[in-house]
C-alpha cells in the first residue's frame, strides 16, 4: 500500500478550491506503435481542464521520446519515469503525482471518443456521484470490431442513471456490465486517498479488478453512462492474452481477494457466483486455445453448484454462460 497521506491532504484542498481538473494517467512501456494515437485522442477531448500524466517504466523503444515530443508542445502533459516496473506501480505513481479532483486512466494502446471526459464529468457532477462508468468497444489491431460481449448499462437505468455503490458491487459480481477495468471509469481522488486505495504492485496482470471492487464499496452513488466511449484494443502482445502459469496464479489470487471482500460486505451468494463464473470462463478460454485443464477444473468448479449459481445470480448472457460451463465439463 503506497503512502497517500500527502495526496489526501492535497485532494481535500483541491476540492475546497472548487477544482474540476481531471487527471488522466497513462502508463506506458514499449508502446511506440500505439501511444501517439492514444495521446492525441486524450488531448482532443472536448473537456479541456485536464492534465495528462504519462508514466513510463522499463521502456526500451522510442515511447519516451514520443511522449516528450507531445509534452514539449502541450503544457497539460507531464512525462514521469517510474523506477518500479508494471502498470500498477505506474498508476500508483500517477495518483500520487496528480493534481486533479478527478482521476481516470487510459492504457497506452487504446484510444477514446472526443466527448468521453465531458460526458463522464458532467454526469458525475450533475448527479453528485462518486464514480461515473461508461461502456466500451473491443477493437482488433486492424481497427475492426470484435463480436465479443460489450457492457450494456442501459438495462439498469430506470428513472435515474444513478445506482448505489452496493448495487454496483452486486453487478460487478453477477454480470459482465461493470467490468474490472479502470479506464472506462471516472473516480474522485478524495475517495481513493481517504481510503488508502491503490493498485497491487506485486501483480503484472488483473491489478485493476480488486482496485475497482474496493472502490465500489466506498461509494454512495454511481452514475451509469449508456454510451460506448472507449476503444479497448486487442493486440497480440496484450498481457490479458498471456497464458503463463504465473498469470493463472495472479488471476486466482485476485479473484479470491475479491470474494473475501464480497463476503465481508455481505454479498456471499454473489461472491460464489463470481468465483465460479470467473474460473469457468478462464478454463473455457484455455480449452479453446488448446490447453488441457483436467488437472484443476474438477477441484475449482462443482458443475452442478456452478449451474445453480449462474441460474440464480447471473444477470447477463446466462444461457451462453451455461453452454460454456457444459463445454468445460465435456472437454475436461
pLDDT 10s digits, 100-119: 999 999 999 999 999 999 99
Asked whether residue 238 carries a pLDDT value surpassing 80, the answer given is no
Average pLDDT (65-80) is: 97
Which pTM does this prediction carry?
A: 0.90
Residue 101 has a pLDDT of 97
Residue 321 has a pLDDT of 93
Cα(98)–Cα(10) distance, rounded to whole angstroms? Answer: 9
Residue 16 has a pLDDT of 45
Cα(57)–Cα(123) distance, rounded to whole angstroms? Answer: 33
* pLDDT > 90 fraction of the chain, expressed in percent and rounded: 72
pLDDT 10s digits, 207-219: 999 999 999 999 9
More reliable by pLDDT, 7 or 136: 136
Q: Is 33 exposed, middle or buried (0-12, 13-18, 19+ CB in 10 A)?
A: middle
Long-range contacts of 64-73 (CB under 8 A, 24+ apart): 66/32, 66/35, 66/36, 66/39, 67/28, 67/35, 67/39, 70/36, 70/39, 70/43
Residue 194 has a pLDDT of 97
pLDDT 10s digits, 270-316: 999 999 999 888 888 888 777 766 555 545 668 888 999 999 999 99
Average pLDDT (193-208) is: 94
Residue 204 has a pLDDT of 87
Asked whether residue 15 carries a pLDDT value surpassing 90, the answer given is no
Cα(208)–Cα(268) distance, rounded to whole angstroms? Answer: 22
The residues facing 162 across adjacent strands are 223
Amino acid at each position: 500500500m503506497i503512502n497517500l497521506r500527502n495526496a489526501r491532504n492535497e485532494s481535500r484542498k483541491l476540492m475546497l478550491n472548487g477544482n474540476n481538473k481531471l487527471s488522466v494517467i497513462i502508463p506506458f512501456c514499449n508502446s511506440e506503435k500505439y501511444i501517439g494515437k492514444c495521446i492525441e485522442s486524450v488531448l482532443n477531448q472536448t473537456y479541456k481542464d485536464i492534465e495528462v500524466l504519462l508514466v513510463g517504466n522499463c521502456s526500451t523503444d522510442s515511447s519516451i521520446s514520443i511522449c516528450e515530443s507531445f509534452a514539449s508542445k502541450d503544457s497539460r502533459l507531464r512525462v514521469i519515469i517510474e523506477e518500479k516496473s508494471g502498470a500498477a506501480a505506474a498508476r500508483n505513481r500517477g495518483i500520487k503525482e496528480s493534481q486533479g479532483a478527478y482521476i481516470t486512466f487510459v492504457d497506452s494502446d487504446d484510444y477514446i471518443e472526443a466527448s468521453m471526459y465531458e460526458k463522464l464529468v458532467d454526469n458525475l457532477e450533475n448527479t453528485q456521484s462518486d464514480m461515473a462508468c461508461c461502456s466500451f468497444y473491443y477493437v482488433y489491431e486492424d481497427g475492426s470490431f470484435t463480436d465479443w460481449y460489450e457492457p450494456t448499462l442501459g438495462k439498469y437505468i430506470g428513472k435515474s442513471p444513478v445506482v448505489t455503490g452496493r448495487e454496483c458491487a452486486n453487478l460487478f459480481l453477477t454480470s459482465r456490465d461493470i467490468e474490472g477495468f479502470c479506464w472506462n471509469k471516472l473516480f474522485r481522488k478524495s475517495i481513493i486517498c481517504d481510503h488508502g486505495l491503490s493498485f497491487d504492485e506485486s501483480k503484472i496482470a488483473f491489478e485493476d479488478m480488486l482496485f475497482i471492487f474496493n472502490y465500489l464499496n466506498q461509494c454512495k452513488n454511481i452514475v451509469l453512462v449508456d454510451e460506448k466511449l472507449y476503444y479497448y484494443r486487442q493486440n497480440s502482445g496484450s498481457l490479458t492474452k498471456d497464458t503463463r502459469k504465473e498469470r493463472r496464479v495472479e488471476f486466482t489470487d485476485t479473484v479470491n481477494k475479491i470474494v473475501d471482500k464480497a463476503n465481508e460486505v455481505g454479498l456471499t451468494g454473489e461472491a460464489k457466483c463470481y468465483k465460479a463464473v470467473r474460473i469457468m470462463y478462464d478454463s473455457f478460454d484455455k480449452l479453446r486455445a488448446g490447453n488441457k485443464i483436467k488437472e484443476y477444473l474438477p477441484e475449482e468448479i462443482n458443475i452442478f453448484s456452478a449451474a445453480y449459481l449462474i441460474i440464480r445470480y447471473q444477470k447477463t448472457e446466462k444461457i451462453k454462460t451455461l453452454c460454456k460451463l457444459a463445454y468445460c465439463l465435456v472437454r475436461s
